Structure 1
Amino acid sequence: MSFSFFKASRGKAALELVKAMRDSLVALDTKTVAEVKALEKALEEVEKNFLSMRQLLSGDGEVEPNFENVSQFTIEICKEDVIGLFIHKLPILGWEARKDLVHCWSILLKQTVGSSYCCVEYIQNHSELLDFLVVCYDNKDVALNCGNMLRECIKFPSLAKYILDSTSFELFFKYVELPNFDVASDAFATFKDLLTRHETAASEFLTSRYEEFFELYEKLLTSANYVTRRQSLKLLSEFLLESPNSHIMKRYILEVHHLKVMMTLLKDSSKNIQISAFHIFKVFVANPNKPQEIIVILAKNHERLLALLHNLSVGKGAEDEQFEEEKELIIKEIERISRLLKIT
């Protein structure tokens, strides 16, 4: 079988390619499943054009990409709204076309004309495209493609901030628990990037949406799904214990219901979850300004807590030595609190 039909034309100018791409993508609107052959032909034309785009942006192994052609192409796909077509037509594209688009997406976002990132600015001005990519997690056929494209977008602070502040962000609390493991894992990777990649944007988000966020997050920490519990607990440690979020951590460790969640996780059947829970639990205990409610909970449960902690161990090595030192300090503090409460 010959694949010459799909071979990109090296001489095709950037402007001509953009026009061909736009025409072929728009043509998909006029084809229906009832016109199977017509639809197949339209998709083949899109696939051919996407391969041409990939070779224009990346070269073909023999010829390196031409900077002027790449710049002109980038300008034109923004000017002609082809970027919007890329995203909106993604669910009906063939596998090869989607693969080529994902490959080209990161290249396009990084292209600068003067001092500006053309494609990033286009997406900023058409932010509904980001919302569309997020809801594509509901479509398992394109979820991983959209996840890749979203994470490329999240590399830019302005785009990450938009998603964090949008109503679409809440959907991630559903997507990370989807029954399809690959899709749920991909959604969690995107969720993690949103909360950790840009410290300032994430910190501002957590500050402004504190109660709403942690109410939803608690459901992940107490999920019946082991992977969800473990991943969400590990992520909580990452963004809660980072210095830009110290004010969030200080607020978090003053609240009794958060302490109760960590105490429950200390009893989890998984040792990994127990260890991760300990690293957050210890901050509640070590806090020199513990509220009376926290002190009372620790004192009332000191026997069970001490039994759990005495049986908790990470293994052997330097890490174990540090863990045992921290554990010993926490045990002593819980013992001190229990004695103090009895005295008073």
Structure 2
Amino acid sequence: MSFSFFKPSRPKTPQEVAKAINDSLMALDTQTVVEVRALEKALEEVEKNFGTMKCMVSGDGETEPNMDQVSQLALEICKEGVLDLLIHKLPILGWEARKDLVHCWSILLKQKVDSTYCCAEYIENHLELLDFLVVCYDNKEIALNCGNMLRDCIRFPTLAKYILESASFVLFFKFVELPNFDVASDAFSTFKDLLTKHETVVSEFLTAHYDEFFDLYEKLLTSPNYVTRRQSLKLLSEFLLETPNSHIMKRYILEVRYLKVMMTLLKDSSKNIQISAFHIFKIFVANPNKPREVKVILAKNHEKLTELLENLSAGKGDEDEQFEEEKELIIAEIERVAQLSNF
């Protein structure tokens, strides 16, 4: 008589874990999904296998993970096409399984095999997976999971570049204003990463898509939603003032329509927005090569602008002192333009 079932089970190899995950995700086919009992059983199996994967990549609390095994698992998941299933089956998975997947995803994407990030390379060759993750912001059940997974992908310049240049990118201008605050905030975090993580990639993108990008961005700056206005204005300052984007900034401050946006934001009911708007407005005014149209606007509105600026204060010690100095210079320049104008 054999009592082998009393023996502790042998730990699974990375190949076995990858195969088990693959098989359990494949079991979530159309037929299973419509049969409630079959779906419950299939989802339990997926959750169990994801738990095994999580132990392999993170350790079990007592033992540290074996990094060779973690790298091998990353390789196997790519080799068997499991990465596709992990993403495409995401909408069906339960809460616990999704949480474990997001945790493992972050670790697996960082694994190098023969000096190559194999998961990132796999995604480079299957870029439609990124489009799928972006579109998932429309599904509030999985939006935050997909957001985390997307931000892990955006760490890689090639993947960030693809999203920026894809048709999916324009969806972010909608997602950041979704009525669900948590989803909208998460979408904005991803949007911000896309525009700030890789300076050269962003500079090339803005150069090639200047008009369409800033047309869409203007709608965020003039949104009726306070959070959208404040976040997008702050983000504009961040990426516009990056050194690789200096040519973009020079182009931006020549345009009267964007000067008018900043002048409107200077009158915003929020002091935070007024201060942020001032830091971009001052670049329009301080520009030594102001076009005639900009000078006309400044001259025509010099009294209102002077009054607005005189009532504006940062109120933060040393920062306030610097702010007041800058303000005085900007008011003086507006007065100078007004005096010289014959408009």
Which TM class, normalised by the smaller chain length? over 0.9
Cα distance in structure 2, aligned partners of 1:42 and 1:330: 66
1:101 match = 101
2:130 match = 130
State the shift of 1:286 in Å: 0.2
Aligned: 1:47 with 2:74? no
State the shift of 1:67 in Å: 2.5
Write the mapping of 1:29-68 to structure 2, written as runs, cut at 5 A. Answer: 29-68=29-68
Aligned: 1:250 with 2:263? no
Aligned: 1:78 with 2:73? no
For the 8 Å contact 2:46–2:97, the answer to whether it is kept is yes
1:209 match = 209
Matched position secondary structure for 1:304: helix
2:263 match = 263
Q: Which amino acid aligns with 1:325?
A: E
Matched position secondary structure for 1:268: coil
Q: Which amino acid aligns with 2:204?
A: E
2:172 match = 172
State the shift of 1:31 in Å: 3.9
Cα distance in structure 1, aligned partners of 2:241 and 2:160: 21
State the shift of 1:10 in Å: 6.0
Q: Which amino acid aligns with 1:168?
A: S
CA separation of 1:9 and 1:250: change in aligned 2, threshold 3 A: farther
Cα distance in structure 1, aligned partners of 2:68 and 2:197: 32
Cα distance in structure 1, aligned partners of 2:159 and 2:321: 42
For the 8 Å contact 1:109–1:119, the answer to whether it is kept is yes
Cα distance in structure 2, aligned partners of 1:242 and 1:21: 43
State the shift of 1:53 in Å: 0.2
Matched position secondary structure for 1:28: coil
Cα distance in structure 2, aligned partners of 1:99 and 1:9: 26
Cα distance in structure 2, aligned partners of 1:34 and 1:86: 20
CA RMSD of aligned residues (A): 1.2
Q: Which amino acid aligns with 1:340?
A: L
Write the mapping of 1:148-227 to structure 2, written as runs, cut at 5 A. Answer: 148-227=148-227
For the 8 Å contact 1:306–1:331, the answer to whether it is kept is yes
1:336 match = 336
CA separation of 1:335 and 1:20: change in aligned 2, threshold 3 A: same
TM-score (norm 1): 0.96
State the shift of 1:214 in Å: 0.1
Cα distance in structure 2, aligned partners of 1:192 and 1:33: 36
TM-score (norm 2): 0.96
Deviations 1:196-237 (Å, cap 9, x if unpaired)? Answer: 010000010000000000000000000000000000000000
Please list every run of 5 or more consecutive structure 1 residues that lacks an aligned counterpart in the other structure.
1-7
1:283 match = 283
Q: Which amino acid aligns with 1:317?
A: G
2:241 match = 241
Aligned: 1:314 with 2:323? no
For the 8 Å contact 1:50–1:101, the answer to whether it is kept is yes
Cα distance in structure 1, aligned partners of 2:9 and 2:312: 64
Cα distance in structure 1, aligned partners of 2:154 and 2:229: 24
Cα distance in structure 1, aligned partners of 2:68 and 2:30: 34
Please list every run of 5 or more consecutive structure 2 residues that lacks an aligned counterpart in the other structure.
1-7
CA separation of 1:105 and 1:10: change in aligned 2, threshold 3 A: farther
Cα distance in structure 1, aligned partners of 2:97 and 2:184: 23
Cα distance in structure 2, aligned partners of 1:30 and 1:304: 65
Matched position secondary structure for 1:64: coil
State the shift of 1:151 in Å: 0.3
Cα distance in structure 1, aligned partners of 2:310 and 2:22: 66
Percent identity over paired residues:
78
For the 8 Å contact 2:71–2:108, the answer to whether it is kept is no
Cα distance in structure 2, aligned partners of 1:116 and 1:264: 49
For the 8 Å contact 1:9–1:52, the answer to whether it is kept is no
Which deviates the most, 32-41 or 181-190?
A: 32-41
Deviations 1:33-68 (Å, cap 9, x if unpaired)? Answer: 541111000000000000000001111011221223
CA separation of 1:9 and 1:177: change in aligned 2, threshold 3 A: farther
Q: Which amino acid aligns with 1:291?
A: P
1:301 match = 301
Matched position secondary structure for 1:126: coil
For the 8 Å contact 1:173–1:216, the answer to whether it is kept is yes
Cα distance in structure 1, aligned partners of 2:30 and 2:293: 65
Cα distance in structure 2, aligned partners of 1:257 and 1:30: 52
CA separation of 1:9 and 1:85: change in aligned 2, threshold 3 A: farther
Matched position secondary structure for 1:71: helix
State the shift of 1:316 in Å: 3.6
Q: Which amino acid aligns with 1:11?
A: P
Q: Which amino acid aligns with 1:19?
A: K
Q: Which amino acid aligns with 2:242?
A: E
State the shift of 1:32 in Å: 4.0
Cα distance in structure 2, aligned partners of 1:44 and 1:275: 53
Cα distance in structure 2, aligned partners of 1:256 and 1:76: 55
Cα distance in structure 1, aligned partners of 2:282 and 2:9: 63
Cα distance in structure 2, aligned partners of 1:81 and 1:300: 63
Q: Which runs of 4+ in 1 moved over 3 A?
A: 30-34
